[in-house]
Every structure is written in C-alpha cells, then in structure tokens.
Amino acid sequence: MSGLAGQRILLGVTGGIAAYKAADLARRLQDAGAQVQVVMTDAATQFVTPMTFQALTGRPVRSSLWDAAAEAAMGHIELARWADRIVIAPASADLIARLAQGMGSDLLSTICLASEAPIALAPAMNRVMWANAATQANVATLRARGMQVLGPGDGDQACGEVGAGRMLEPMQIVNALDTSAAPALLAGRRLLISAGPTFEDLDPVRFLGNRSSGKMGFALAAEASRMGAQVTLVAGPVSLCTPDRVQRIDVRRAVQMRDAVIAALPGQDVFISAAAVADYMPAQTESRKIKKTAASLSLELVRTPDIVSEVARHAQRPTLVVGFAAETNDVEQHALGKLKSKGLDLIAANDVAAEGIGFESDDNALTVYSTSDRHAIERGSKSEVARRLLELIAARLESGA
Ligand code: PMT
C-alpha cells in the first residue's frame, strides 16, 4: 500500500506551461489512494482550465480568496486545516518568492501561511530564472523552513532552452512524496535482495528457466528503499524497471547470481532471497545449437549452488537471512524443512498453486515462519505484501532477535 493512501493532499497549481502535467499528477496521486483538492492561482487558469482538475478529482477547484460561495462551503482556513500535506506543482518563481516573503496575496499563498501541513514544491521555470540569485535565495529560505523541494529536473525547456528548471515528471513527484510519507523503519539498514528467475543455458538458443517475473523481489526492493534502506538488488533476467535509489546488478545464471550475492554481502544487515533460483543446470552448455537428430534427447543436469544456504553459513552472514518457499503442496511442512535445512531466520512461504497469487501475478499472500512463530500476511498487491514482510523484518532487527 502506498504511504499516500488516505492522505488529503492540497495540490497547488501555479502559472507555467508545466501546469498541464499537474493534471496527470492529480490523477496519479489519486491512484496512490490520496484525496486531492486542487487550488489554482489566477495565472495557472491561463494554462489549464479548472474544469480539467474538477473532472479528474471530482472536487470543485478553488482559486479565489474572494469567492463568497466557496468560502461559505469551506473557507481558506478550513482548507488549510483539511490538508494532510500541501504539494505545489508546478511552483513558479513568483509563488516561491511570495512564500519566502510570507505573503498571503492570493488563496494559495494564504493557505500555505495558515497551514501546519508539510509543504512540498516542484519548481518549474526557465533555467535563467531558476539560476537567478533571488530565486536560489528564496528556495534556500524555504528549505531552511522545512519545505521539501522536489527537483527541478534538467533538460529541454518549453522556452527552447536547455538546462535546470523542468518540473519533475508526475510519477517522480508521487514517488518522492510516497518516500517521505513511508515510515523510515529501515533507515540506516542495508538490504540485499535477489529477484526473478535464473536461466540456465543449454546452447546459444535454449535455456532452462521458470515462471518468476521478478515482481515480488522488485516490490521488496522498492518498498525497502521507501522505508529508508540502502538496497542492492541482484536481478535475474526480467523486464522490470529499477526502483528509485536501488542499486541493481543483473545476472542470468544461478552461478552468476551466487557470485553477485556473495560479492555484495559485506556490511549487509539482511539478505532476502526472493529469486526463483534454478536447482539444476545443464552439466555442460553447448557452444553451438543442439541439432534435432535422435528421436529422444537426454540432458545431464547437475545441482546449482544453494545461494541462500551459502549466505546463511557465510562468515559475513547478515543479521537476518530470509528465504522464500514456492510450494504447490504441504506448504507449511516444506517451508519449515527449508527454514531448518538452509539455516534461515525467516522463511516466507507462498502457495504457487493457488489462483491469482505467486508467480507472475500482481498479488501474493505469504505465511512467514521462524523457528518459534508464524505470521500470516493476507492477500494483497505485491507492494502491500512486501511492506508487511519488511515491517516484520524491521521489528526483528529492532528487537535484536
Ligand atoms: O517473481 P514473481 O513472479 O513475482 O514470483 C514470486 C515468487 C513466487 C518467485 C517468490 O515469491 C518466491 O517464492 N521465490 C522463491 C522461489 C524458490 O526458488 O523457492 P524454493 O522453495 O525453490 O527455494 C527456497 C529458497 O532457496 C528461496 O529463497 C530461493 O531463493 C533459495 N534458493 C533456491 C535454490 C538455489 N539454488 N539457491 C537458492 O538460494
């Protein structure tokens, strides 16, 4: 679940061409579970109509301090109190200057003055305006007062110039807000996570693989990063984007995954082995494509290294070693067997025969076992399930268990 779920976000939109991106931002904040109330400056209404935001949010847009009917419904002080947080995107140089001066010259600046909610700004302006000493001093003042400044990004600008001043993309803003909303339960911790399948090559054309998409491991990496951890993700062959602030190492085969995990081990607090590592690999990989000749073909397979077992017995063993068990039957019995035989602290068992969870799907459900207790994590998105598992891990790290 996103850290923004249930939050009441007052989205301030100021005048600038990037105002069109604020429409997408409103939508994405709602997708993350937030309630969004838009407040526009007069200048913003020159770029995008209030109707666009009203249609997207289902709430009338506020733009004037002097609208008697709107003030009677929810006055500017009530709006200031309503907001759990205020996000201004795009934030123009003019609005930044007025906030730095403590002015209440329109509805948006007045709400900012009257609210105790945290305020985040996503500046957007021409690169020279951004670099201007006045703007930089104003931004420094607002930062010093605790406002969060998101961006700006670098690149092509609507005015034809290239440089710093572009508003961050809506998803970058959502992720940054989400990170600051997530409880920093893993701040200062280092987590190593493996994800995805391994592909064991038979020849240059064929391989032995499995159905893992990497979604579970990537969700763990993304959520751990949101919770403040420094995350290293060793990924098998998957087509997923690297989560923000996560260091990713791509591998293909089990032996490569083993080497990457062992190399990354020093200083890790936790290893989570979410990868579906092949148990067997071909005894040899042919350098040329195997030709179709005989009626049948036998392959000799040999065991791959058991990575999580090796980590659990390593001299630089992390404080917690967490395995996953992908089972189709007798889930508890097999999971407890692996917990013991592999020397793990926790094992998260998923029933990969159940409909709609486990491999490839967007949802999962886990039962997490230690030698002394068990904890059910009910079905939810892989992000929600990852967050619950990480909360358990954080609690164990905290208690020193
Ligand atoms: O990737 P998704 O599509 O999102 O699917 C998620 C998942 C089902 C793959 C994931 O939730 C999961 O269960 N991962 C572990 C799959 C697995 O290999 O389970 P296992 O029971 O075969 O292995 C037990 C543990 O030993 C696992 O932590 C595994 O990473 C580890 N192992 C296994 C073999 C091996 N050679 N080395 C290992 O480290």
| 150 backbone dihedrals φ, ψ, rounded to 5° | -105, 110
The answer to whether residues 125 and 165 touch, using CB atoms and an 8 Å cutoff, is yes
Q: Is 306 in the pocket of ligand 1 (CB under 6 A)?
A: yes
List the catalytic residue out of 51, 159, 290, 401.
159
Ligand 1, atom nearest to 338 Cα? 24
Report how far ligand 1's centroid is from the alpha carbon of 276 (Å).
4
The CB of 254 under 6 Å from ligand 1? The reply is yes
Residue owning the nearest CA to atom 5 of ligand 1: 359
Task: Tell how far the Cα of 189 is from the centroid of ligand 1, in angstroms.
Answer: 23
Count of C-beta atoms within a 10 Å radius of residue 333: 10
CA–centroid distance, 1 to ligand 1, in Å, is 23
Query: Cβ distance 176 to 257 under 8 Å?
Result: no
Residue 53 Cα to ligand 1 middle (Å):
45
Q: Tell me if 212 CB under 6 Å of ligand 1.
A: yes
Nearest CA to ligand 1 atom 33: 277
Cα 306 to ligand 1 centroid, rounded to whole Å:
11
Stated pTM of the model: 0.72
Atom of ligand 1 nearest to the CA of 196: 1
Q: Please, where are the H alpha helices in 120-253?
A: 127-131, 133-144, 170-181, 215-226
Contacts (Cβ under 8 Å, ≥6 apart) of 195: 212, 214, 216, 217, 218, 220, 221, 233, 234, 235, 236, 238, 274, 275
Number of neighbours of residue 50 by Cβ within 10 angstroms: 17
Please compute the mean of the pLDDT values over residues 24-38 and round it to a whole number: 96
pLDDT-derived band at 71 (thresholds 50, 70, 90) equals: confident
Burial 136-175 (b: 16+ CB within 10 A, else e): eebbebbeeeebbbbbbeeeebeeeeeeebbbbbbebbbb
Distances (CA, A) of 216 to 142, 193, 245: 39, 10, 18
pLDDT value of position 401: 67
Q: Exposure pattern of 294-329 as b/e (b: 16+ CB <10 Å)?
A: eeeeeeeeeebbbbbbbbbeeeebbebbbbbbbbee
Q: Three-class SS of residue 270?
A: strand
Token pair of 386, please?
């990852």
Question: Is it the case that residue 65 has pLDDT exceeding 90?
Answer: no
Query: Cβ(358) to ligand 1 under 6 A?
Result: yes
- Residue 383 Cβ inside 6 Å of ligand 1? The answer reads no
- Write out the two tokens for 359: 């491999």
Q: What is the Cα–Cα distance from 400 to 320, expressed in whole angstroms?
A: 10
Cα of 277 to ligand 1 centre, how many Å? Answer: 6
Give yes or no for residue 242 having a pLDDT over 90.
no
241 is catalytic: no
pLDDT band at residue 75 under the 50/70/90 scheme? confident
At residue 156 the predicted structure's pLDDT band, cuts being 50, 70 and 90, is confident
Nearest residue (CA) to ligand 1, atom 27: 324
338 lines ligand 1 (CB under 6 A): yes
For the stretch 303-318, pLDDT in tens is 999 999 999 999 999 9
Ligand 1 proximity of 275 Cβ (cutoff 6 Å):
yes
Domains of the chain, CATH where assigned: 8-181 (3.40.50.1950), 190-399 (3.40.50.10300)
Q: What is the pLDDT of residues 336-380, one digit of tens each?
A: 999 999 999 999 999 888 888 989 888 899 999 999 999 999 998
* pLDDT at position 1 over 70: no
Q: Is the CB of 48 under 6 A from ligand 1?
A: no
Q: Is 332's C-beta closer than 6 angstroms to any atom of ligand 1?
A: no
